[in-house]
Amino acid sequence: MAISATLRPVREELVRVQYAEPALVAGYANDHAGWGPTARYHHSRRYAIDQVLAGCGGGDLLDVGCGPGMMVRHLLDTRPGDFRITACDQSPAMVDAVAARAGDQVRLAVGDIQDMPFEDRQFDVVLAMGVLEYTDAAQALHEVTRVTRPGGLVVTTMLNPRSPYRLFEWGVFWPARRTLGALERVVGVPPSRRHGARRTGIVALTPRRLRELLWRAGLQPGEVIAYDVTASVPPFDRLVRRRDRSWRERPETTIARGAKRWLGTGYLVAARKLAG
């Protein structure tokens, strides 16, 4: 799905303000903990990425759209010495959070995935997790290809727009919360107590479309791995996931490579940069 030139600045501003302040960054990092839907999503995604990186011996690794550095910290703890890590995000507040979490163990950069401050062919591995949904994916992938060495590994993730969870969340749950919030405003409910759902600027691609963009960017995509596999939908998923906490001890049950992939709220595609 393309974004018109008229709407692009609006979307970019929606994305920018979400994580511009330290308090918002801290809230995002806190969402990785606990037992809620967001924690399960990130835990499952990390497990799926670990499976892909298990076949990678090491090298220069870029985490672009790194957020507060949760994956960076995880790699430092679980793969010590394997990767020379660079963390890049367009939000200075996010990069500051990485610095606090990882110290001088990583190289830090503030930059947009569509125009990164790196030389050509600089990295053996590039992780683009939870970032393509917020940008021009085609342009971003060409830039990712530019900074990746021939034969290098590129790991991309995407929210799954055709999963039952996302269809219900975006088509029913969020609109219902916004409608309820509008009614509460009319009857005088204080702003802090109103329901709502923030505008995010997210544009999610189907696996077929993402694979097509990877090919066009000069990357050879591999299989699609779905993660955070669930048949529940919001808000009922909160109750289900609080009662069933096996996903932390058995993360392998939250990913799928076969017929159940459509149930994943997100998916991963790993690709190799073509020679030349």
What is the structure's pLDDT at 16? 60
Confidence (pLDDT) at 102: 94
Neighbours of 163 (CB within 10 A): 24
Structure tokens given for 259: 């017929």
What pLDDT was estimated at residue 13?
Answer: 63
- Nearest partner of 87 among 125, 52, 38, judged by Cα: 125
Answer whether CATH 3.40.50.150 is correct for domain 8-166+201-235+263-273: yes
* Closest by CA position to 221, among listed 161, 164, 141, 162: 141
Cβ(89)–Cβ(69) below 8 Å: no
Mean pLDDT for each 10-residue chunk of the chain (276 residues)? Answer: 50 61 76 84 97 96 96 97 97 94 95 97 98 96 98 98 96 91 92 81 94 98 97 83 79 94 98 89
What pLDDT shows up at residue 148?
Answer: 99
Tell me the whole-structure pTM to 2 decimals. 0.89
For residue 239, the model assigns a pLDDT of 72
Structure tokens at 51: 């499976």
